[in-house]
Amino acid sequence: MANLVKYPQIQEKLFMEIKGVVQDGEENIKEEELQKMPYLKAIILEGLRRHPPGHFVLPHAVTEDAALGKYVVPKDGTINFMMAEMGWNPKVWEDPMAFKPERFLSIGGETFDITGSREIKMMPFGAGRRICPANGLAILHLEYFVANLIWRFEWKAVDGDDVDLSEKEEFTVVMKNPLQAQICPRLK
């Protein structure tokens, strides 16, 4: 939401996408309508890439000596995956620190594989056997709330306030300075 306040043109583009799918006067966007909104999905994926709620997955361990590339991880050794850094890797992502949902639209019309079963370019939910079992549920909720919040309200920055995207670590990573916004109802 902070990025949608910071970049009103992205918010407007999303609103126009929603308007093309949802009937005028409809109060709540329905679950099945979300599937017709590729730009919404791109915004959610870009949010998870640029601001993953966890910067590491849960610590993993090996039960026997294991070779990982040119390294050996000894039995019972712990491995921490630097998940946020993967999503910010300039060798994989062009201009990685910028918020550009479009990057998820130009992958040959295919939906981005968040589970990393083919290749791992980011892994906000982890990957493999211990991947977050709720990744589908989480994305559905993110899409549902963001779409409805934008459909019902216009979100504007507070006058003279530049939205600060700095982060701090709590149980998950959160905004260092919580988002403040002026919200105006769109429906009459």
Q: CB-based contacts of 68: which residues, under 8 Å, 6+ apart?
A: 79
Which one-letter amino acid corresponds to residue 88? Answer: W
- Number of residues engaging ligand HEM in binding (CB under 6 A): 14
Are the C-beta atoms of 153 and 14 separated by less than 8 Å? Answer: no
Are the C-beta atoms of 40 and 106 separated by less than 8 Å? Answer: no
Which one-letter amino acid corresponds to residue 54? Answer: G
Binding-site residues? 132
Are the C-beta atoms of 175 and 166 separated by less than 8 Å? Answer: yes
Residue 116 touching ligand HEM (CB under 6 A): no
Residue 117 touching ligand HEM (CB under 6 A): no
Q: Backbone phi, then psi, for 18, in 5-degree steps?
A: -60, -45
Residue 134 touching ligand HEM (CB under 6 A): yes
Among 124, 150, 151, 179, binds ligand HEM (CB under 6 A): 124
Shortest-Cβ-distance residue relative to ligand HEM: 126
Segment interacting with ligand HEM (CB under 6 A) among 2-10, 14-22, 131-139, 162-170: 131-139
DSSP state of 45: H
Calculate helix-pair angle for 8-21, 135-152, nearest 10 degrees: 100
User: Which residue lies nearer to ligand HEM by CB, 132 or 147?
Assistant: 132
| Interface characters, 151-180, with ligand HEM (x: CB under 6 A) | ------------------------------
User: Which residue lies nearer to ligand HEM by CB, 125 or 155?
Assistant: 125
Residue 47 touching ligand HEM (CB under 6 A): no
Q: Backbone phi, then psi, for 95, in 5-degree steps?
A: 50, 60
Among 19, 36, 75, 130, binds ligand HEM (CB under 6 A): 130
Which one-letter amino acid corresponds to residue 187? Answer: L
Which residues of the chain form contacts with ligand HEM (CB under 6 A)?
53-54, 57-58, 124-126, 130-134, 137-138
